[in-house]
Amino acid sequence: MKKTLMFMVVLCGLLILSLVACSNAEEANVDQEKTNTEEEGKEVSESEQDQERILTIAIPNDIYSFDIHDHNQIDTEAVHINIFSYLLTRQTDMEVEPDLLESYEPVDDVTWAMSLKEGITFHNGDPLTAEDVKFTLERVANDDTLQEHGRLKVIKEVKILNDYEFEIITDGAQPTLMNLLSRIGSGILPKNYIEENGWDHFLSNPIGTGPFKFVEWRRDDRIILEPYENYFEGRVQGIDQVVFRVIPEVSTRINELLTGGVDIVTDLTPDDMQRINAQEGVSAVSAPSQRVGFLGLHHGEEHPTSDPKVREAIELAIDNEAITKQILLGEATPTRTRITPGNFGAHPRLYNTYLYDPNRAKQLLEEAGYGDGLELTLTLADNHYLKANEINEVIASMLAQVGIDVNIQFVDWSRFLELRNAGDYGQMYFAVYGNSIFDSSIGLQEFASNVGWDRASYRNEEVTELWEQALNNMNFDEREEQYQRIQEIVAEERPKIYLYHQNEVYGVSDDVIFTPRTDSMLVIKDMRMQ
């Protein structure tokens, strides 16, 4: 039996040894780690701070990959945008300006002549040429297995004129082309580098023409970038390294900010703002996002919501301001449309307004024959959107006050999508949609296509006609009017009842100057460390 004790001691010893070995190997492997750990600790000596200025940003999800054409994640693009430059880019005020482009002008309705700035290089030193543009845009336009294909298939061809000049030929007139070229999927890739080394090599060692070059990606842990010395606008000053740390749990992200482990924290809730603002040295900031919360209503004859009076009653029963003020603590604006300011086609009369009249709602229900009460089902993805569970419970109680008894059905996210796509959600579903194109075409598409019919039995010929005309209309004033008219019809017929336009909340250390952007991008070159 003496063996047993000996054995336990030896086992413990071995376990400890292997643990130390594990940690040592880790430390030896990655020199960077040491710097990061020091950065995370409180005591970084002054001289070290002078040497290395590391900006650390905590994000909730890891990036998907470095394939810019095969994801539709804002979180992923927020990191990519620092490595890959676009032909055009959105400035902080969301105006689209040329980035890699020197000039661009329409030749005719389907042709854009463009020229690149000269002297731009990829992180490996290769010059950027029109060949790279052709390679990048035609890849996504032709390969239908890529997730961004659906958006960028409008590009028919990229015709090279010389090293720096090219023409983009679109499939029909495309008024949104400039929007498409300044978002996900339009970062320019290095043709030669990819063809010589293969995709797998590119995905693990990506290069672009952006202000930061890739150093390391440890999945679900961190992405490390460093300034590119030969960036065409000049090396980013005052920052020596950028670390994106993946921290899924929101409380952990906040704790890291409070203890100085990270400088910027994304994806916070309005409730977190008070705790952050209460501490010195950090503050919470917010900015309007592109996300709009709404109720989708089923127009199928079998549902009571096919009656316009019932739909109007639902909208009148909901006090949008109570939701934006009490639940979202002022970090949202009531809206009656998905096209919010800053997006092409925004309707000023439908924004920052709402209808609320519970008495009229009761009256309408009575007129519709539901004076004795009405039972409806509301489906939502459990805890998927910001405070959605609370918001929907409040909506249910508001509806109860006018005599509508709501059964809330909480389901898993992917189940929710299936129910929504099949139109099996009952009478109502709740969701929050974004819009990365900053144009009405995407936001209003569902009412003009099969999507509206498949999911809600909604169809309106006028809407379809207006939307189709606007899609290829190069007369921008007329196009804006067409989109605004669609929004008026939607607000009247209520295939959806829009509720609020949500703000994005960030936590920031006082050592960093950071202005949150409406497109949720984390553009490091616009940030400053003090």
Partner 1 sequence: MTYIIKKLFQIIPVLFIISFVVFIFVNVSGDPVVLMLPEDASNEEIKAMQESLGLDKPVIVQYGLFLSNVMKGQFGQSFVYKQEALPIVLERLPATFELMIAAIIISILISIPLGVLSAIKRNTFIDLFISGTSVLGKAMPNFWLGLMLMLVFSVYLQILPVSSRGSLLHLVLPAITTGTAMAAELTRMLRSQMLDVLHQDYMRTARSKGLSHFSVVYKHGLRNSLLPVITLIALNISTLVGGALVTEVVFAWPGIGQLVISAVHARDMAVVQACIFVIAIFVIGANFLADILYRVVDPRIKYR
Q: Interacting stretch for partner 1, rule CB under 8 A, among 38-46, 85-93, 469-477, 511-519?
A: 38-46
- The two tokens of residue 496 are 């959806």
Residue 45 binding partner 1, by CB under 8 A: no
Output the smallest distance, CB 471 to partner 1, in A: 15
Give the residue with the Cβ less far from partner 1, 100 or 508.
508
Cβ(100)–Cβ(209) under 8 Å?
yes
Over the window 449 to 478, marking each residue x when it contacts partner 1 by CB under 8 A and - when it does not, the resulting string is xxx--x------------------------
Residue 382 binding partner 1, by CB under 8 A: no
Q: Give the residue carrying structure tokens 């950027």.
A: 128
Of 99, 446, 504, 519, the one binding partner 1 (CB under 8 A) is: 446
Instruction: Indicate the pairing of strand 241-246 with strand 54-59.
Output: parallel
- The two tokens of residue 267 are 């994806």
| H or E stretch at 431 | strand 428-433
Burial string for 440-458 (b: 16+ CB within 10 Å, else e) reads: bbbbbebbbeeebeebbbb
Residue 28 binding partner 1, by CB under 8 A: no
Output the smallest distance, CB 453 to partner 1, in A: 10
Residue 142 binding partner 1, by CB under 8 A: no
Give the residue with the Cβ less far from partner 1, 19 or 161.
19
Start-to-end CA distance of the chain, whole Å, equals 65
Q: How many CA atoms lie within 13 A of 369 on its CB side?
A: 4
Cβ(179)–Cβ(188) under 8 Å?
no
Output the smallest distance, CB 199 to partner 1, in A: 8
Output the smallest distance, CB 108 to partner 1, in A: 29
Q: What is the CA radius of gyration of the chain?
A: 26
Output the smallest distance, CB 2 to partner 1, in A: 7
Residues contacting partner 1: total by CB under 8 A: 71
Of 205, 433, 464, 489, the one binding partner 1 (CB under 8 A) is: 433
Q: Under rule CB under 8 A, which residues in 191-210 are in contact with partner 1?
A: 200, 203
Q: Under rule CB under 8 A, which residues in 324-353 are in contact with partner 1?
A: none
Cβ(114)–Cβ(87) under 8 Å?
yes
> Can you tell me whether residue 57 is helix, strand or coil?
strand
Q: Interacting stretch for partner 1, rule CB under 8 A, among 44-52, 142-150, 298-306, 362-370?
A: 142-150
Of 40, 216, 366, 480, the one binding partner 1 (CB under 8 A) is: 40
DSSP of 188-201, one letter per residue? PP-HHHHHHH-HHH
Of 329, 417, 489, 512, the one binding partner 1 (CB under 8 A) is: 417
Output the smallest distance, CB 121 to partner 1, in A: 27
Cβ(40)–Cβ(221) under 8 Å?
no
Residue 26 binding partner 1, by CB under 8 A: yes
Give the residue with the Cβ less far from partner 1, 123 or 151.
151
> Can you tell me whether residue 371 is helix, strand or coil?
coil
CA distances from 244 to 57, 61, 91, 96, 183 (A): 5, 10, 22, 26, 20
Burial string for 302-311 (b: 16+ CB within 10 Å, else e) reads: ebbbbbebbb
Give the residue with the Cβ less far from partner 1, 255 or 377.
255
Output the smallest distance, CB 67 to partner 1, in A: 6
Residues written for the chain = 530
How many Å apart are CA 175 and CA 154, to the nearest integer?
11
Output the smallest distance, CB 441 to partner 1, in A: 11
Output the smallest distance, CB 308 to partner 1, in A: 24
| H or E stretch at 244 | strand 241-246
Output the smallest distance, CB 432 to partner 1, in A: 9
Q: Under rule CB under 8 A, which residues in 226-285 are in contact with partner 1?
A: 245-249, 251-252, 255-256, 258-259, 261
Give the residue with the Cβ less far from partner 1, 251 or 475.
251
Q: Under rule CB under 8 A, which residues in 65-104 are in contact with partner 1?
A: 65, 67, 70, 72
Of 49, 421, 469, 515, the one binding partner 1 (CB under 8 A) is: 421
Burial environment of residue 510 by CB neighbours within 10 A (0 to 12, 13 to 18, 19 or more): exposed
Residue 57 binding partner 1, by CB under 8 A: no
